[in-house]
């Protein structure tokens, strides 16, 4: 039986004779069902029409993107460390070329994902690399649309995956919203792989926060404060966001803190921030 994939968000469901009646990920107001209605594809069909491309973001960090764009069009990131490689966030397309290239770069030891919008075809990715663990925060368990023995739920506020590689529960637009802190990288100054829990914006000079990005529903002030508090113990110079060219290359922690202060001032204010 095929394992159907939602074409809007890229989430794969358990194998079935017919497509699911709906996509709960898209029915939730943090996502959307397009006016044309719900539609479905399979990994086999996707592989015939799309391909993955690899791009080095910095030494030992490689972005993986699907072309033409599919689903939400987030990027996955391959983090290489002396103790093993981590796939951060996930994309729907996994094909033989992608597997061969990643194996040539040392393979994968584990997968970690920021939030349910990027769970996509995580089971297929795990199976392609021998059933490696998929680390998801337990607070978002209800949004797992295709369960798999490789899914490893973690609890609490932080989890060290490998030396110098830590998952941080920051919250944000999902209760279990997670970012990855990498203590290494250029000059050992640290990097934050933020998904869209901390969204690097178009000018790459600041970040922002939303409860629903497609529906423009802002994140509450307490949740933004929670994100900042979760990141406070960690040093990082760069912030690599969820999408192509959404990276901040210096003073990343300062950028996040100043951006959060601006956000909080606006959302709590009287609308005259631009005049100050």
CATH of the domain at 172: 3.60.15.10
Which of these ranges, 158-162, 262-266, 267-271, has the smallest mean pLDDT? 267-271
pTM metric for this prediction = 0.96
Using DSSP, state whether 258 is helix, strand or coil.
helix
Q: Are 235 and 188 in contact (CB under 8 A)?
A: no
For residue range 28-65, what is the model confidence (pLDDT) as tens digits?
A: 999 999 999 999 999 999 999 999 999 999 999 999 99
Look at the block and give the residue holding tokens 């050992």.
Answer: 188
110-132: average pLDDT: 98
pLDDT at 185: 72
Mean pLDDT, the chain, as a whole number? Answer: 96
Alpha helices (runs of H) in the chain, residue ranges in sequence order:
24-27, 43-49, 96-104, 122-128, 221-231, 252-268
Structure tokens at 252: 């990343």
Q: What percent of the chain has pLDDT over 90?
A: 95
Angstrom distances, CA of residue 76 to CA of 89, 91, 198, 244: 5, 6, 16, 10
> Is pLDDT above 70 for 276?
no
CA distance 111 to 126: 7
Number of domains in the chain: 1
- CB neighbours (10 Å) of residue 143? 18
Domain range holding 75? 5-275
> Is pLDDT above 60 for 253?
yes
CA distance 113 to 136: 6
């Amino acid at each position: 039986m095929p394992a159907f994939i939602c074409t809007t968000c890229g989430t794969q469901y358990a194998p079935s004779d017919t497509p699911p009646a709906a996509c709960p990920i898209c029915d939730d107001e943090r996502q959307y069902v397009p006016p044309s209605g719900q539609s479905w594809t399979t990994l086999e069909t996707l592989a015939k029409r799309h391909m993955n491309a690899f791009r080095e973001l910095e030494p030992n960090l490689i972005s993986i993107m699907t072309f033409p764009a599919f689903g939400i069009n987030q990027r996955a990131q391959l983090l290489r460390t002396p103790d093993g490689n981590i796939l951060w966030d996930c994309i729907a397309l996994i094909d033989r070329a992608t597997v061969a290239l990643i194996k040539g770069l040392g393979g994968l030891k584990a997968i970690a994902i920021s939030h349910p919008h990027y769970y996509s075809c995580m089971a297929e990715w795990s199976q392609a690399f021998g059933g490696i663990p998929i680390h998801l925060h337990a607070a978002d368990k209800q949004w797992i649309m295709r369960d798999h023995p490789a899914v490893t739920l973690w609890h609490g506020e932080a989890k060290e995956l490998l030396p110098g590689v830590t998952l941080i529960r920051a919250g944000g637009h999902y209760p279990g919203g997670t970012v990855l802190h990498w203590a290494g990288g250029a000059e050992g100054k640290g990097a934050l792989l933020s998904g869209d829990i901390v969204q690097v914006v178009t000018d790459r000079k600041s970040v922002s926060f939303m409860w629903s990005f497609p529906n423009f529903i802002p994140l509450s002030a307490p949740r933004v404060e929670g994100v900042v508090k979760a990141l406070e113990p960690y040093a990082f110079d760069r912030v690599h966001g969820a999408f192509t060219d959404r990276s901040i290359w210096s003073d990343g922690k300062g950028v996040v803190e100043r951006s959060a202060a601006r956000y909080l001032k606006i959302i709590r204010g009287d609308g005259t921030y631009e005049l100050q």
